Amino acid sequence: MQFIPGIVKKFTRVPKTIQEWNEKLLFGILASLLFFGAPALISSVKMAIDTGQPINLVIYVFCYGFAAFLLFTQTVPYKVKAIFTVLLIFFLGLVALRTLGPIGSWRIYLFASAILAALLLGTRAGFVTLAGIYCLAFVFSILLHNGTIHWNLNELYDFNAWKVTTITFLFLTSVCTIAVSLLISGIRRFHAAAEQSARDLESASNRLREEIAEHQKTLNDLGISRDQLFLARS
């Protein structure tokens, strides 16, 4: 249990670099996911049991345990943790869509996956996740239109309703993902420039101290030489 104090210390210390900020952000997201996700896990497990879906039961428990692993492990690099966190949220959205259809919480999961990708991994990851959401919506639209897929809980939810709500969802998700991506990109560039300025200032300060030390040494040598000359004349 010695890793717990290390995790607490890592979370409570003030970040000084972009990487440390990213790690603290990911830690907060995973911790929040476990804390606030517990009630969602309980309700999802109960629904899986009541509806006779043991596969979903295993999936929900596994995803929660995997999130706990990502939170507490110290050996997995930040980027790998961030990628798996985004994939985990995206996968839960896919499961929700396949299980409950349009009335499920799949939009919330997919929206969160796009935003988290932009926050944790940058603009490119946000757009890649957004493209994955578009592809997923397109595939399910074709399956629903052709009658290949059907949800028993959605007798009143026809293809037209799916089309309207999905287009609206994609529109809002795109706008929010782009906005967050641009914001995070700007913040990171600004922070990187500030870090570079701090390094340049520290380097200039070190050079100045070295020059002062050399100048002082020269003055001391001149003082010694003057004293020696005075003693020689006397």
pLDDT per position as a tens digit, 71-123: 888 888 999 999 999 999 999 888 888 877 777 778 888 888 988 898 888 88
Say what the pTM is. Answer: 0.70
Contacts by residues 163-172 (CB-CB < 8 Å, ≥ 24 positions apart): 165/102, 166/102, 166/137, 166/141, 169/107, 169/110, 169/111, 169/137, 170/133, 170/134, 170/137, 172/111
Gap between the Cα atoms of 22 and 154, Å rounded: 41
Domain boundaries, the chain: 3-233
CB of 82 within 8 A of CB of 26?
yes
pLDDT tens-digit profile of 158-201?
566 666 667 767 777 777 777 777 777 777 777 677 777 777 78
- The position carrying tokens 């043991």 is 54
Q: What is the mean pLDDT of the chain?
A: 78
Q: What integer pLDDT is reported at residue 75 of this predicted model?
A: 86
The token duo for 90 is 């995206």
Alpha helix ranges (H) inside the chain: 3-12, 18-50, 54-72, 78-100, 106-121, 123-145, 159-233
Q: What is the pLDDT of residue 3?
A: 52
Furthest CA-CA distance within the chain: 115
